[in-house]
Structure 1
Amino acid sequence: MPRFVLAGEVVEGDICRGEPFLFQLAGEQAWYAGTGDVITRTEVLTGWKAARAEAVIHVERILERLPGRESDFLRAMADLPAKERTLTRISNDMGLAKATDAGPTSQRLDSVRGIIERGKPYTFRHRAVEAYLTSDWPDVPAELTSAEAASVLGASRPTLMKLVADGVLASHEVGAHHRFTHTDVADLAEIRRAARVEAFTELRELDEALEEPRPSADPR
């Protein structure tokens, strides 16, 4: 039976948001999109297009099952900048008279639902819900920032910019910031992955050759 391996560069929280069900869904669709023993990032993105509708349904089902007060709390929290997500600000935006009026709701969303985590500030524990409410997720952006591209390549930002300067990776500028296409970054990531696999194979073969027993000397 063939063994399929998910290339390290494709395992990104940006798609699955840390949700086991979404990771399983993405992996299944990537497997169907794949053609070899290694599932590449391009194949994951292709598979994700097929999984997108089911991912949306999964998150919408979670939100639809919530009571109105809890749903209002999440949406008010999502509309605030991350650093301003305090109980006072959220309750104000919900139109409540005081912060304690939202206390039981926040407690249920934390300890019962597992969707948020109360703190200073409040944060989303269920990152797919947060992404659904605050971004274009599950759509994959056409372009990557420098930080995102470096993460996909498993490189530091200085290394990334050297790749740009050397003409290895194309980029364009939006204002003072570099942007990269998914395709360019995915292609380079696959080239780098293949090079690492080849280097590892050569080292393993060399190691095995050195471990082979040498023929014993003729006692005569």
Structure 2
Amino acid sequence: MRPKQTLFLGLILLVPVLAFLFLKSFGTNRYALPTYLPDHVDSTLVGGMWQRDTVFHRLRNYSFPSQTGRVVGQKDLKGGLYVTSFFYTACPQDCAQRNSQLTRVQEKFRFEPRVRLISYTVNPTQDSVAVLERYAERYGAIAGKWFFLTGDKNQLNRLLTEEYRLPAPVGEAPSIQHSQQLFLVDRNHRVRGIYDGTKAREIDRLITEISVLLYTYDHNDEPRA
């Protein structure tokens, strides 16, 4: 066999070997979601050396009446993840944009029971359970999938400012400061993503990152608290 033919044959045989080594080395790499809202930094002594580790905020449990009258809290969302948003029914265009985008998320994960949507009103004085029921129907909210919650003004304000760390209220219209941001909360009650709910590309990213979290749960790569 000629030297050129031998070299060519050797290269052909080498390609699958290189492909196998590449996949073996890099095929297990996965996209890891960041964690938001740091609380403090801990120092741990490991092997005689101090290592610094950031401790991230875990959302405390709050329970509020939903559009069906059912009281919903974190215990009802156990084992899954959810997307949090803030709105009020008399809100101008931006709330409608966010809710329209959230219908995409609901439809994408319609048959995935671990994914839910939680929308808190920031104007509980006006947004009663009956008002929220009609509002939820407008966006085709699926019962048990997408919850619109109302309740005590002070408790809602603490939720927004202390748990999600949104700006404190300014003025009285609406009664609590609302936000166009959406928050992805994992099964350990930590914020793993923050998105602009009025932008389609941000919702695409949200859908992708929900899928990433579900993948890690399915493959036991995301430890439980």
| TM-score under structure 2 length normalisation | 0.20
- The higher relative CO (CA closer than 8 Å, separation ≥ 6) is in 2
More strand per residue: 1 or 2? 2
| TM-score under structure 1 length normalisation | 0.21
More helix per residue: 1 or 2? 1
